[in-house]
Amino acid sequence: MTATDNHSVPCALIETGIGWIGIAWSERGLTRLQLPARDREATERRLLSTIHGRPVESADMPAPIAALVGMLRRYGMGEPVDFSGVPVDLDGVDPFRRAIYDAARRLDFGHTTTYGGLAEEAGYKGRAQDTGQALGRNPVPIVVPCHRILAAGNRIGGFSAPGGSTAKERLLEMEGVHLGPPPSAQQSFAF
């Protein structure tokens, strides 16, 4: 990453077990999380297309961001991690999206709900489609775990991150959630 002017946002690329993740933050918390793209350079390009970034070395990160880096690395190794206490700066996000993101943050590792269920949990019953659109604009995936939200009938649904619904399914599988059809009765009793 190349340095930019003083009006830029601090950011970093982190190598994890699921690939390179990009993050950016303000003094109030995480502002952007870029899920892994094809490689480090592609992740960096995607992150910098959404922010005016200024790379920061790990030694210069604020304590909550340095802690987040460790959490992301553990998560990338498949460890259950609770991101609900990570400070997030959602400046400019409307009240509906904030409510959806807050409700999503209450979903534990390995648990899912539907777009309709999340809308209801957030106090917006009947707004499943709007919920899907809000999650598609989620600036901090994993920390706001939009991958844990499924379409009706527990179908995978969409995912706007690199890799689309395949990436969503991989994150869920890493958390122990399997969406395929259940094994046949004969398979489940096989020894």
Residues annotated catalytic, as ranges: 146
Handedness of CA 31, 78, 37, 163 (dihedral sign): negative
Say which CATH class 95-174 falls into: mainly alpha
Per-residue tens of pLDDT for the chain, all 191 residues: 444 445 689 999 999 999 999 999 999 999 999 999 999 999 999 999 989 888 888 878 999 999 999 999 999 999 999 999 999 999 999 999 999 999 999 999 999 999 999 999 999 999 999 999 999 999 999 999 999 999 988 888 888 887 888 899 999 999 999 886 655 555 544 44
Q: What is the pLDDT of residue 182?
A: 57
CA–CA distance, 30 with 24 (Å, rounded to integer): 6
When computed from its CA atoms, the radius of gyration of the chain, rounded to whole angstroms, is 17
Determine the pLDDT at residue 174: 93
Separation of CA 51 from chain center: 17
**What's the pTM value of the predicted model, to 2 decimals?**
0.88
**Residue 55 Cα distances to 49, 52, 64, 143, angstroms:** 14, 10, 17, 21
* CA–CA dist 144, 147 (Å, integer): 9
**3-class DSSP state of 139:** coil
